[in-house]
Structure 1
Amino acid sequence: MSRRNKITIVGAGNVGATAAHWAAQKHLGDIVLVDIVQGVPQGKALDLAEAAPVMGFDLKIVGTNGYDETADSDVVVITAGVPRKKDPVTGKFTSRDELVEINRKIVGGVTREIASRSPNAVLICVSNPLDAMCHVMYAESGFPKERVIGMAGVLDTARYKYFISEALNVSVDDIHGMVLGGHGDTMVPLPSHTSVAGIPLTELLPQDKIDAIIQRTRGGGGEIVGLLGYSGYYAPAAASVAMVEAIVRDRKRVLPCAALLSGEYGYKDLFIGVPCVLGKGGVEKVIEMKLGDKEKGMLEISANAVRELVALLPYGKGQAT
């Protein structure tokens, strides 16, 4: 009798709980939802499990405050960490340096717990600052680079494609494109590699409209925060689950993910968003695209922003440089 895939999601907040929802709906495997808050993962797991008779999925869904239930997971999605907060007295937000240090401790601790119980798992990082946290997970897990991946490009690309479909009033299914680089204001949408049912985007939209879409994509997360007062979660969770599905079903999908590069695109020992073939082994291949001078320049700016964050981490060369 074959065993079902096992998926652990650490962090039962909006992104984690919604990821569990999407994963169950896609019948991807048994799900373990982990959170430090007593009752929250248990309650959300039970609520989701009770939807099974209605939605027709036969899966085991459990919530826990510990890690023993996560043993032998195939894929682990880590969403744990704290967002930037505004000090009610000074009005200042948590500094970048403070956020990196706070989340380094949280993500590092989670990673050690997971790695000791699921030594063959593929780890997907959703925690922010994402590119820096990928380095934390890589260093703390001791896993090969193929099994530590960051979720950013799938989300950024989804936003990019949606904005294009909205501008052209066409189906999102016919939009083909990709966003590379770090997750944030320096991400690199690639209009020269974007098409609509094979028709180059540059033939369908004027440059000023394309530039506006690129800027909206870069500020996509901030736009939602401005409306909701907190970060979005439907799209980030869906993007995470797309990666989980590619791995557990060995689909060999080409998705933009934060991967540790070893010379590709001219970068080494740095997690950067690039096109990856995702399958059972995690990142099975990094695909190198031909970039124009302008795109190379944007990628370098993005890489430098990642380097600045990684420089705040206490890891030696060979782990996170």
Structure 2
Amino acid sequence: MRRAKISIVGAGNVGATCAHWCAAEQLGDIVLLDIPGDMADMPRGKALDLRQSSPIFGFDSNIIGTNDYADTAGSDVVVITAGIPRKPGMSRDDLLATNAKIMGLVCEQVAKSSPDAVVIVVSNPLDAMVQRALQVTGFPPNRVIGQAGVLDTARYRTFLAMELGVSVEDISALLMGGHGDTMVPLASCTSVGGIPISQLLSQDKLDAIIDRARKGGAEIVGLLKTGSAFYAPAGATAQMVEAVIRDKKRLIPCAAYCDKEYGVGGYYVGVPVILGTGGVEKIVELELTDSETAAFKKSVDAVKELVTAMAGLV
């Protein structure tokens, strides 16, 4: 029985750390790809370094670094982290235009080399980039997914655990909506050991935690000064890869294509899904409170604006 094949396009901090988590969990053979240029050997160096840790941690995955999409052929899962971060002086349109172009070039190659793969998009601005990936690959929407909800939920759960002094394992939570300031943590779906969060935290404290979770990435950028978060984004992505490779049927929030679900017509937005070997196998529709519905609509509107702006730039 062959091992699964996981290709990661973009060998920066997020991509390389995702490879690390996937190897440690023995999810399959891994191809780490980045573009040729001055740093052409970088993915090979990282792959070799990671491979040399295999005797220490006991995994047998074949790990290679490359600049050639031919090495990714026949992948079961393709993770796309490629793109540039927003820099001082850049507008949102600048970031959209550049990363949409990169996403288009990557997805053209992915569609040729791995036509049956499940694609997990990590690049930002996430909700627009996963929409772009769908357009260019031509894959069924269930096989093109955006990673954001798992990360945002992890940040939310982390801050709740820190505030309450409890294990993160006991905190169950769910978020919806776009990735960023308009994401919608669902207090009605948040509990600690089965106890509703409303019985453990005041609304003011919960609101403060929600606000911190929304700005979790920016907080880390401010602390690092020269980079952005990568441990948690990579870990969240690896959890999604595992759900697909091992057909886990995880109920987790992902950026999924909503055709009619939640009244969203033809956009990617963060919603709870069942994630398995077929990608998004089901979108789970919840009954939201009035305030949650209003916040979700606001988040969807922000996603629509982003996608509309991208359409005018590509």
TM range (shorter): over 0.9
**1:98: Cα distance to partner?**
1.2
Are 1:272 and 2:269 matched, yes or no?
Answer: yes
The aligned residue for residue 30 of structure 2 is 31
1: distance between equivalents of 2:240 and 2:189?
A: 22
Q: Secondary structure at the match of 2:266?
A: strand
Asked if the contact 2:31–2:72 (Cα under 8 Å) also holds between the matched residues in 1, the reply is yes
* One-letter identity of the residue aligned with 2:78: V
1:66 alignment partner AA: D
Identity of aligned residues (%): 58
**2:65 paired with 1:66:** no
Alpha-carbon distance in structure 1 between the residues aligned to 2:174 and 2:228: 22
Unaligned 5+ segments in structure 2 are none
1:205 is aligned to 201
2:136 to 128, 140, 147: 140
1:119 aligns with 2:118: no
CA RMSD of aligned residues (A): 1.0
Give, in whole Å, the separation in 1 of the partners of 2:99 and 2:124. Answer: 8
Local SS of the residue matching 1:223: helix
Q: Counterparts of 1:98 and 1:304 in 2: how far apart (Å)?
A: 21
| Separation (CA, whole Å) in 2 of partners of 1:176 and 1:85 | 35
Deviations 1:224-271 (A, max 9, x none): 011001211000000000000000000000010000001111111010
Structure 1 counterpart of 2:68, one-letter code? G
CA offset digits 1:165-185 (Å, max 9, x no partner): 111100000000111100010
Matches within 5 A, 1:2-13: 2-13=1-12
Quote the residue 2:309 is aligned against. Answer: 312
2:229 is equivalent to residue 227 of structure 1: no
One-letter amino acid of the counterpart of residue 112, structure 1:
E
Q: Which residue of 1 aligns with 2:86?
A: 84
**Is 1:188 equivalent to 2:215 in the alignment?**
no
Quote how far apart the aligned CAs of 1:313 are: 2.9
**Residue of structure 2 equivalent to 1:20:** 19
Determine the structure 1 residue equivalent to 2:152.
Answer: 156
Residue deviations 1:276-312, cap 9 Å, x none? 1000000000001110110011111110110011002
**TM-score (normalizing by structure 2):** 0.97
Provide, for residues 135-192 of structure 1, a one-character-per-residue CA deviation record: whole Å limited to 9, x for no partner.
1100000000000000000000000001001111000000001111000100000112
- Large movers: runs of 4+ above 6 Å: none
The answer to whether the Cα contact below 8 Å between 2:186 and 2:292 also exists between their aligned partners in 1 is yes
Structure 1: gaps of 5 or more residues: 87-92, 316-321
How far has the Cα of 1:74 moved from its partner?
A: 0.2
Partners of 1:262 and 1:309 in 2: how far apart? Answer: 18
C-alpha deviation, 1:314, in angstroms: 3.2
1:96 matched to 2:92? The reply is yes
Q: How many residues align?
A: 309
The residue number in structure 2 matching 1:291 is 288
Amino acid at match of 2:127: D
Name the amino acid aligned to 1:25: A
For the Cα contact (< 8 Å) 2:262–2:285, is it kept in 1?
A: yes
Task: Return the alpha-carbon distance in structure 2 between the equivalents of residues 107 and 48 of structure 1.
Answer: 26
Encode CA deviations 1:33-92: one digit per residue, 9 max, x unaligned.
Answer: 001131110000000000011110001000001100000000000000001111xxxxxx
TM-score by length of 1: 0.95
Letter matched to residue 313 of structure 1: M
| 2:228 alignment partner AA | S
